[in-house]
Structure 1
């Protein structure tokens, strides 16, 4: 990593006719994106701030690699895009399962313009991964919020100043991580401009799955109402800090109104880390939506603390348009809950799932198997908890101890497991020598698949899920999800015995629509069809 200042930028740079071109790239993984796509809200915030600060002196482009058809090699996409736009500054945003693409895109950015400034940000940057600092094509890493840091970096870069002196940045020097003074988290979130949609083709996102694993019900976009979380789960990134900072409800309502009026949005996917941290505030937002008479849909693909849900909250949310949320169980073992600092009150969480079903809110669950020192009996406790619940869908994962998380240290301290390279979100077994529980991976995988089969393909649960298609997800979205689940379980309709479950699935699959990737073309590379497949 080095800062190449041969570009000769000076204080007169803003006076030239050509604006400074900044490309903000949302990364994707060729390995396991699960066909999940949501608008790149973080990059949209950055674009809005840069345009507000610099006006016509900058040209900000947002490129979303997740919109690229799956069969297209992403390195070729990056090369085509960056060779075409030749940006002066490139900002990269991605998750840890997309870590390899930071290096691919950074390399292509330098190939297109050797003097470009390449900045790594996003959740993966928050881990301070050594891989980012070892890459000579990455000049700076911004591990936390960028709305105040990035404009200052751009100003220094334009003026020929030392960008590594900007508070909040990190970089590598002679193989060592270097840190500028820390930058406080943004306290006044209302002071930020609304996310910029001018370079976003919102229609292109509508037929992709959200983080719930299902396609949205209405024309959807994402919404932050808070940042941060005061829980300290050991497996989680710390991107927004361990304190909840809130936008005013007036500010939230104003953004929603603009999106409804100008973008035709009818569904908001609220992606706070913990939306119900302040329950009275959350209920007040629901009440205000109802009083405004908006006929909208609300979904919470993450960020609701399940054991903090009350009947008052659920009833108010349903009245405001909530139809889907996901609740993180993670483990039904009290010992594991304590070990990973989740501290779920499992009886309250089970009650919340029951109430959600009663009020007709489609409820997904997240669970993980394979925590450090977890036993076969503890994994079975989680499986039994899921099967006893009235949840409607269940996403089950093997634990992935990413860099920068406390659970990574727990693996080293508590087990003899060896971790090499980056891990993925895939539930498929990997190298048995790289795991960290006494339960063999093959056995763990068998338990997950058996639980998935029992959970999803029982008559009572499937019948209830189909009932909810009247008010929640459309049948094509549910059909797509069930088809994916059958594939994961190694099942086919033809091989299933003649039963009510088989007949219900056969009827559901008649409503299945086309695969989203066959329907949408990426908006930012018109020549994509000409690339070799």
Structure 2
């Protein structure tokens, strides 16, 4: 008899700070892969649901995806699972488990920890009956005689086309939302994995080796979203979508050729050194209305320190191109880097004013384990609090080695957001981009996060 599987995505504790609820592609990808191998799998996404559809006692293996925002609530859920179903095996994965797996080996209620992409390790854990006797599996820490054993690193899969589309048909797609959008329902897609760049603050949960799905495979999934799921807008969530510009152009050419009626936005940001005017033009004609760019700073000195490697003039040029073509832009910045001084913050403020994108977001720096920033910027006290952080990227930063007082950083974030968004010209432009209900929700969100 095949084991009963449940995959859970737990909501963060400060749920009101996370209005951007999109499908959890990690567990949905694992679910699709398990079902392709004839293992029925249930999904529970508590960012959109409040209760389980079946009782926990019905499951043999229960998996949870953990990130910076939901570690605490996920660990509470794991404890609850074991109280309700002591025989169930609990496996955890996701970015937080990949960056700091040893932290989770200390939890008595966890039976296995995934240290990379989850599809194949999870399947092996089930098919090889590891959940019964603690066999070693590549990419997993598994519990054996109350102690964890590591099966070693698992190589990434290069041919991503071999994976099925994430099991979006298993969730209520109309319950997902993002505060900045044109159409509804909205979903998300990942067309590549990995990133070869070495920004000191970024944790590469999918590795440095960039692997991409073929353009045909990507557009086939987009068409499935639209025709089978009724989706009207899709958020592309790659870490580095346009590393292969030829592939990127092919994707948008195919969308146009097939006449797929959908709005698209690229949320995680495009590297401006991997953007051409021709690519942006193809994006626009295929339905892209919003792209994110992430210079992170307006200070050339901090740009070098964080190893982002962006030319600020090229950032400005790409924003101008987008304005000429008709694509809206969303610029992301981070403040609170260890060597950042007030002069650097002033340079960032000046650059934002010069850039004049349609939207901005300024987040505080949060050090993530297994990054160069974490190793150089935090002390043992901060390390001991891993798992207690709520993942709130706003408010007062937690870094300890900063030239600027923490409250000054928080004040800077608030001041820039207020100056930017409360400008009458900006308000008028936003009214032309978003509906009034969306603007109201966005305003409420900025108040909740302390940005205004």
In the superposition, the TM-score normalised over structure 2's length comes to 0.92
2:108 matched to 1:136? yes
The CA distance in 2 between the partners of 1:420 and 1:271, in whole Å, is 31
Cross-structure match for 1:26? 9
Alpha-carbon offset, residue 404 of structure 1: 2.2
Corresponding residue number in structure 1 for 2:164: 193
Q: Structure 1's 419 and 331: CA in aligned 2 closer, same or farther, altered over 3 A?
A: farther
Distance in 2 (CA, whole Å) between partners of 1:147 and 1:59 is: 14
Q: CA deviation at 1:125?
A: 1.2
CA distance in 1, matches of 2:131, 2:340: 55
In structure 2, the CA distance between the partners of 1:86 and 1:105, relative to structure 1 (3 Å rule), is farther
Return the alpha-carbon distance in structure 2 between the equivalents of residues 27 and 418 of structure 1. 24
Q: What is residue 91 of structure 2 aligned with on the other side?
A: 119
For these two proteins, the number of residue pairs brought into alignment is 448
- Say if 2:19 is the partner of 1:35: yes
- Deviation (angstroms), 1:256: 1.9
Please state if 1:162 is matched with 2:127.
no
Q: Please state whether the residue corresponding to 1:446 is helix, strand or coil.
A: helix
For residues 407-449 of structure 1, the C-alpha deviation after alignment (integer angstroms, 9 at most, x for no partner) is 101214xx89955514322422267xx6321211111111111
Distance 1:225 1:488, change over 3 A: closer
Task: Quickly say closer, same or farther: Cα 1:160–1:443, change in 2 above 3 A.
Answer: closer
Following the alignment from structure 2 to structure 1, what is the Cα–Cα distance between the partners of residues 208 and 247?
A: 19
Q: Within 5 Å, which residues of 2 pair with 1:168-317?
A: 168-171=139-142, 178-205=149-176, 208-209=177-178, 213-215=179-181, 217-317=183-283
Flag the 1:309–1:416 CA change in 2: closer, same or farther, 3 A: same
Q: Cα–Cα, structure 1 residues 174 and 425, in superposed 2: closer, same or farther, change >3 Å?
A: farther
Q: Distance in 1 between matches of 2:98 and 2:161?
A: 23
**Any gaps of 5 or more consecutive residues in structure 2?**
none
Q: List structure 1 runs of 4+ shifted beyond 4 angstroms.
A: 80-85, 158-161, 171-178, 415-420, 486-491
Aligned to 1:375: 341
Which whole-Å CA distance do the structure 2 matches of 1:65 and 1:111 have between them? 19
Per the TM alignment, residue 288 of structure 1 is displaced from its structure 2 partner at its CA by: 1.3
Bigger mean CA offset, 298-307 vs 421-430: 421-430
Matching residue within 440, 446, 451 for 1:485: 446
Corresponding residue to 1:395 among 361, 374, 378: 361
CA contact (8 A) 1:387 1:451 kept: no
Deviation at 1:107, TM superposition (A): 0.9
Q: Bigger CA drift: 327-336 or 144-153?
A: 327-336
CA distance in 1 between counterparts of 2:362 and 2:98 reads 25
TM-score w.r.t. structure 1 length? Answer: 0.79
Asked if 1:449 is matched to 2:414, the reply is: yes
1:358-507 alignment, distance < 5 Å? 358-412=324-378, 420-422=384-386, 423=389, 424-429=391-396, 435-467=400-432, 469=433, 473-485=434-446
Gaps of 5+ in 1: 1-13, 70-76, 492-533
Q: Where does residue 107 of structure 1 map in the other structure?
A: 79
In the alignment, which of 44, 48, 51 is matched to residue 32 of structure 2? Answer: 48
Q: Shift of residue 83 of structure 1?
A: 4.5
Q: Are the counterparts in 1 of residues 394 and 451 from structure 2 also a CA contact under 8 Å?
A: no
Partner of 2:47, secondary structure, is: helix
On the 8 A contact 2:417/2:451 being kept in 1, the answer is no
**Aligned CA distance change for structure 1 residues 459 and 195 (closer, same or farther; 3 Å):** same
Name which of 115, 119, 139 aligns with 1:147.
119
CA RMSD of aligned residues (A): 2.5
